[in-house]
Amino acid sequence: MIRGVPRGWLRGAAACGLVLLVSACQFLGDGATVGTVAPGTLRPNLANDIGEREHPRVVATYGGVYKDAGAERAVASVVGRLVAASDDPSQSYKITILNSPAINAFALPGGYLYVTRGLLALANDTSEVAAVLAHEMAHVTANHAIKRQERAEAKQLANKILTDVVQDSEEARQALVSSQLSFARFSQVQELEADAIGVRTLANAGFDPYAASRFLRSMAAFAAYQSADKGSSSAPDFLSSHPSTPERLQIAVRSARQIGAPGIGERDRQRYLSQIDGMLFGDDPLEGFVRGRSFLHKALGISFTVPSGYILENSPEAVLASNGEGTAIRFDGADISGYSDLVDYMTSGWINGLLPQSVRQTTINGLPGVTGSAITQGWSFRIAVLRIGRTGYRFIFASRSPNDTFDKDFHQTVESFSQLTPTERARLQSLRIKVVSSKPGDTARKLAIGMSGVEPSRRLEFFTILNDLSAEKPIPVGTAVKLVVD
């Protein structure tokens, strides 16, 4: 949730980085083009101009710049070594840590590199951070951004010719699909090329070349942990611009094996974790907190809880949730100061397919509210708006197959909405990374008990993923481990 009142219905499409993948998506933005020069040539300073122009938009999209001296030292400590070992040591870089809990890293043309604090929290040693940065540097030195833009323009022109000239609609459709596959594969090749270059650079700089594959596994495990849709298909999306994680893992491991056997190169877990000790974890306090199945916002003084089986996600524009069975939830806010009656607001036209006869006034925990239903484009919706002052807090439940459980979950969630007491607001603190050294007798199960912000039933799984440790194997005495505490 954004600072104050959440806005909008859809997340902005400005950021093309894929959460939970080291995406290195080239952020060209609207209007970025190389059409003013001949194909195969580059206008002087074009890459830097693109990066400089898009940088403020990236920072704004990802919650601003994250300031933390330890995290900054952890990143800065590897940059010089990687640059010296890269394919173009003369290339300069501008590295920004973004204030986002998402696990992401990407590059802009001109040497603009970005890592989120969420990614730094998942990494377990210096070599893993170095692996991410080496991958992004490879995109810059290989000039992937401009190549992708030139290829995109060629694809757009080819598609226009096909649709203008080819009369047979099926023939045109097949040709367009072939063009899309070719372009997607071009992007995938860039990703795999950056993986291979990154591993080589990593090793040349003296870091563990297996760190890239190790961190890819951690990201995949964390993605699975966060996913609410446990039954989703694992089939690859062939129109994706990024190769599947298994394919990237194979490339990363193969590239590392060409350098040497496991155990070579610097990792430095102890020093890295000491540098991120105390770093903010999860949601920014200005956007509210997710605590297990509950969402709480200290500044706004509100909270609600979703039923068992739902997983919450806090985004800058809204709080989202799903249960893996086809039900999705959106919670956000709107300025309703222009409406004296909530029924008037509910029927003012912002809901497509609203069933007027379903609109009912209600009171939830002393707060005035209104509920209603809508049906549109094969979806059924249950909507509730609760009023505090000039702000309307909106719950939208959606399902293609509504049933009694759908209605029960809607009412249970809405009825849990309440205002925090002054004591509850005072006790609500940000989550932080706390690094401790394991003692004799410590196990993953024992240490996981001290984790905050996670449902008790999931603490062990979360602890093992966050620390890249086994739940069954003993933890050597003196091992640095991360806890999440408030």
Confidence at 419, pLDDT banded by 50, 70, 90:
very high
pLDDT of 372-386, one tens digit each? 999 998 999 999 999
Low-confidence winner among 103-107, 158-162, 379-383, 396-400 (lowest mean pLDDT): 158-162
Determine the residue type at 58. V
Residues 465, 435: Cα–Cα separation, whole Å: 15
Mean pLDDT of the region 202-207: 94
| Confidence (pLDDT) at 10 | 22
| Confidence (pLDDT) at 106 | 84
Mean pLDDT of the region 445-457: 89
Q: Which two tokens stand for residue 5?
A: 């009142």
Do strands 94-98 and 112-116 pair parallel, antiparallel, or not at all (unpaired)? Answer: parallel
pLDDT greater at residue 165 or residue 32:
165
* pTM over 0.85, yes/no: no
What domains can be seen in the chain, in order of their start residue? 46-276 (no CATH), 287-426 (3.40.1000.10), 429-485 (3.10.350)
| Confidence (pLDDT) at 37 | 36
CB atoms < 10 A from the CB of 145, how many?
Answer: 26
pLDDT of 127-168, one tens digit each? 999 999 999 888 888 654 444 544 444 434 444 433 444 444
